Structure formats: structure tokens, C-alpha cells
């Protein structure tokens, strides 16, 4: 073990107790195969191993690199690339069970050419991203089967519902999205209905598996939804400058995912972030040059992806250091 003071800042910290609480709480709610953890949130095989130890043997990935890393780490029992690709050759050679999301003739052909054997039909359930129209799911499944692929079922991500604070509104939008997915599944068949995330894990009754990922580390955006998970991820930063009305720490845009807004600092109000700095106004707390502070990110996923390692901490001691070894593409 080593002290936090020995770390160069900014440094990514994971609170060991909060992480264990989150993993245990989700495992109790969605045991075994009901949860297919999404590793894009933490990009760490060490953390994935802790999810597998709790009985979650299938994983969701966003990138080819994540698929390769999990397979190499012996976590390839059931890997889903929940993303369309037009070159699947890196998937077909993996020593793992590989399933690929497809939503077009082109992505089906890419799966065939890449040696992938199993697919899910990705359906647009309201988030304007990937996915075919529900009415196109059945014909695409038929094409995939004609091309020799096994169609395991359907996938649809109700991401536009995840951050809605009002519980009733979130539930209503999830149900509207899943109605579309159930319709598509009736045409496609297969045993899998893959959907969901941290924001809908306990109100999506349609999915056979939930692709939650952020719950493990949590962020300030999800922390505002009243979920039974605790913020586990923070950035250790050092106060490097102080004026009469504000302070500056060495943790900025190059260390923080900012698409969900400013990070949070206890006892202060964040004013803005620049490349290497966060500028904040003390609000009831005293800060001095050289002080170490915790900066709580608003979005876990891109924040983790900026860093090469994360330090697991208990109190003020580093008990383990894990590589963020699933970074990149």
C-alpha cells in the first residue's frame, strides 16, 4: 500500500468500499445472466473480473479493443459488441463466443466476411443513433439467417430515457421504447432481448438482459437519479493557484469527460474547466496551494478513457492499481 500523497495528479481513484457496494447491489437486483455488464464504462479487465466473480459471465462491449482485451483475459464466455462495424475480421479470430449487433445489409455482410457466427438485430427504439426501424427487423433477421448467421434475438438501447430525473417519466419512456423492441422481437425471434442501462435497470421488465455499466463507478449525473449506488470514481487533483475569490487545481478537460457538464468539488462551486485546470469558488471550505482535493466527474465513461490506470483506495491509502487496459479501438 502507498499513500495518496505519492500519486502524481491528476490521478483516477476508485473507492474500494463504494465499488463493492455497487457491484453487490446490482448483483442482488440482476443476478447472473440478467446483467450483461457494459465494460465501456470502466475499460478495465480487473474490474470485469470482479463482475464475473459475482456471476455475470457475459459482457457488453463498445469497441473491438474491448472485445479483444476481454477475450485475452479469459473473459470471453459470451461477448456482445453492441455496435455496428463494417470490418469484423478482428472478431472472427477471437477465442471467445462473439455476438455482433447488426442493423443493415452491409453490417450483416461484414459479420459474414469477418467470420462472426452470431448476431443480434439492433433496433432503433427512440435514440437517434444506430438501429433499424422496428418494421425492418424481421426482414434483416431473415437475411442474416439466409447468410448462415445465427440470430440470437434483438437489441435496443433506450439511452434517451437514462438521465430523466422524474421516475414516472423515465419509466413511461422506457416502456414506450420496449414496446417497439417487443414488436421487433416478435418478428425476429431468438432467446435474447438485450437492452437497458444503469438508469433503467430496475424498470425495464422487457429485456432478458440489461446492459448496465456506469453503476459500478457511478458519476454525478446518475447520482441525481436516486439509484442505490454510490459514487466510487473521483479524480485526485492538486490546488496549484489561489486568488481572493477562486482557486485552481490541475485537473481539466484532458482528464475529465465534460459532455454531461461540470464536475463537482465538495465544499466548492466549479466555475469552469480549461485544458489543464479546473477553476472553482470555495463555498464554505478553505483551500490552500498544495491541497489535494477530490473532483467528482459528471460522466464516468469518457473520464476513465482519458487515463492509463486507476488506483483503488481505502481511506487515504492505495491498495491496488489497475490498468485501464481496454482503452483505444
What is the distance between the alpha carbons of residues 310 and 44, in angstroms, rounded to a whole number? 9
CA separation for the pair 255, 233 (Å, rounded): 13
Q: Is residue 329 part of a domain?
A: no
Residues 169, 236, single domain; the answer is no
Domain count, the chain: 2
Considering the domain architecture, whether residues 118 and 138 belong to the same structural domain is answered as yes
Q: 120: which residues sit within 8 A by CB, 6+ positions away?
A: 80, 99, 100, 101, 102, 151, 152, 153, 154, 155, 190, 192, 194
Residues 264 and 224: their CA atoms lie apart, in Å, by 12
Q: Examine the domain organization and report whether 211 and 276 are in the same domain.
A: no
- The answer to whether position 223 is within a domain reads no
The pLDDT profile of the chain, 329 residues, written as one tens digit per residue, is: 678 989 999 999 999 999 999 999 999 999 999 999 999 999 999 999 999 999 999 999 999 999 999 999 999 999 999 999 999 999 999 999 999 999 999 999 999 999 999 999 999 999 999 999 999 999 999 999 999 999 999 999 999 999 999 999 999 999 999 999 999 999 999 999 999 999 999 999 999 999 999 999 999 999 999 999 999 999 999 999 999 999 999 999 999 999 999 999 999 999 999 999 999 999 988 999 999 999 999 999 999 999 999 999 999 899 999 999 999 99
Among candidate residues 154, 187, 217, the one where a domain is terminated: 217
- On whether both 74 and 211 belong to a single domain, the answer is yes
Point out the domain boundary residue: 163, 189, 217: 217
Q: Can you tell me the distance from the alpha carbon of 83 to that of 61, in angstroms, rounded to the nearest whole number?
A: 8
Residue 314, domain extent: 2-12+229-323
Phi, psi at 38, each rounded to 5°: -95, 115
Note whether residue 109 is domain-resident.
yes
Alpha-carbon distance of 310 to 307, in angstroms, equals 7
32 with 173, same domain? Answer: yes
- Judgement on whether residues 183 and 291 belong to the same structural domain of the protein: no
Same structural domain, 178 and 301: no
Whether residue 184 is found in the same domain as residue 236: no
At 1 the pLDDT is 64
- The pLDDT score that the predictor gives to residue 285 is 82
Residue 105 lies in a domain: yes
Using a 10 angstrom Cβ sphere, with 0-12 exposed, 13-18 middle and 19 or more buried, the burial of residue 191 is exposed
Q: What is the CATH number of the domain that holds 263?
A: 2.40.37.20
- Asked if 135 and 210 sit in the same domain, the reply is yes
Q: Are residues 207 and 233 in the same domain?
A: no
- Say if residue 66 is in the same domain as residue 24: yes
For residues 42 and 126, membership in a common domain is answered with yes
Amino acid at each position: 500500500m502507498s499513500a495518496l500523497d505519492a500519486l502524481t495528479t491528476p490521478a483516477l481513484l476508485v473507492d474500494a468500499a463504494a465499488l463493492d457496494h455497487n457491484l453487490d447491489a446490482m448483483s442482488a437486483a440482476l443476478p447472473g445472466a440478467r446483467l450483461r455488464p457494459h465494460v465501456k464504462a470502466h475499460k478495465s479487465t480487473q474490474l470485469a473480473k470482479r463482475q464475473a466473480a459475482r456471476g455475470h459471465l457475459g459482457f457488453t462491449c463498445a469497441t473491438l479493443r474491448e472485445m479483444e482485451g476481454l477475450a485475452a483475459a479469459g473473459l470471453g464466455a459470451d461477448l456482445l459488441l453492441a455496435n455496428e462495424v463494417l470490418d469484423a475480421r478482428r472478431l472472427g479470430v477471437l477465442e471467445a463466443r462473439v455476438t455482433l449487433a447488426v442493423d443493415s445489409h452491409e453490417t450483416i455482410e461484414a459479420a459474414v466476411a469477418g467470420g462472426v457466427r452470431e448476431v443480434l438485430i439492433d433496433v432503433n427504439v427512440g435514440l437517434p443513433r444506430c438501429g433499424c426501424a422496428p418494421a425492418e427487423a424481421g426482414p434483416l433477421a431473415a437475411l442474416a439467417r439466409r447468410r448462415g448467421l445465427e440470430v440470437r434475438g434483438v437489441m435496443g438501447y433506450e439511452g434517451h430515457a437514462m438521465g430523466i430525473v422524474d421516475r414516472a417519466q423515465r419509466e413511461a419512456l422506457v416502456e414506450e421504447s420496449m414496446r417497439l423492441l417487443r414488436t421487433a422481437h416478435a418478428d425476429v425471434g431468438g432467446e435474447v432481448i438485450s437492452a437497458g442501462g444503469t438508469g433503467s435497470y430496475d424498470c425495464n421488465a422487457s429485456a432478458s438482459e440489461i446492459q448496465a455499466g456506469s453503476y459500478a463507478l457511478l458519476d454525478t449525473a446518475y447520482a441525481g437519479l436516486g439509484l442505490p449506488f454510490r459514487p466510487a470514481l473521483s479524480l485526485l487533483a492538486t490546488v496549484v493557484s489561489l486568488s481572493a475569490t477562486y482557486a485552481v487545481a490541475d485537473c481539466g478537460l484532458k482528464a475529465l469527460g465534460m459532455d454531461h457538464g461540470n464536475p463537482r468539488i465538495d465544499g466548492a462551486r466549479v466555475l469552469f474547466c480549461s485544458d489543464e485546470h479546473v477553476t472553482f469558488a470555495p463555498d464554505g471550505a478553505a483551500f490552500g496551494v498544495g491541497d489535494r482535493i477530490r473532483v467528482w466527474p459528471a460522466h464516468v465513461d469518457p473520464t476513465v478513457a482519458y487515463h492509463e490506470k486507476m488506483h483503488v483506495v481505502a481511506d487515504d491509502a492505495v491498495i491496488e492499481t489497475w490498468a485501464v487496459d481496454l482503452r483505444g479501438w
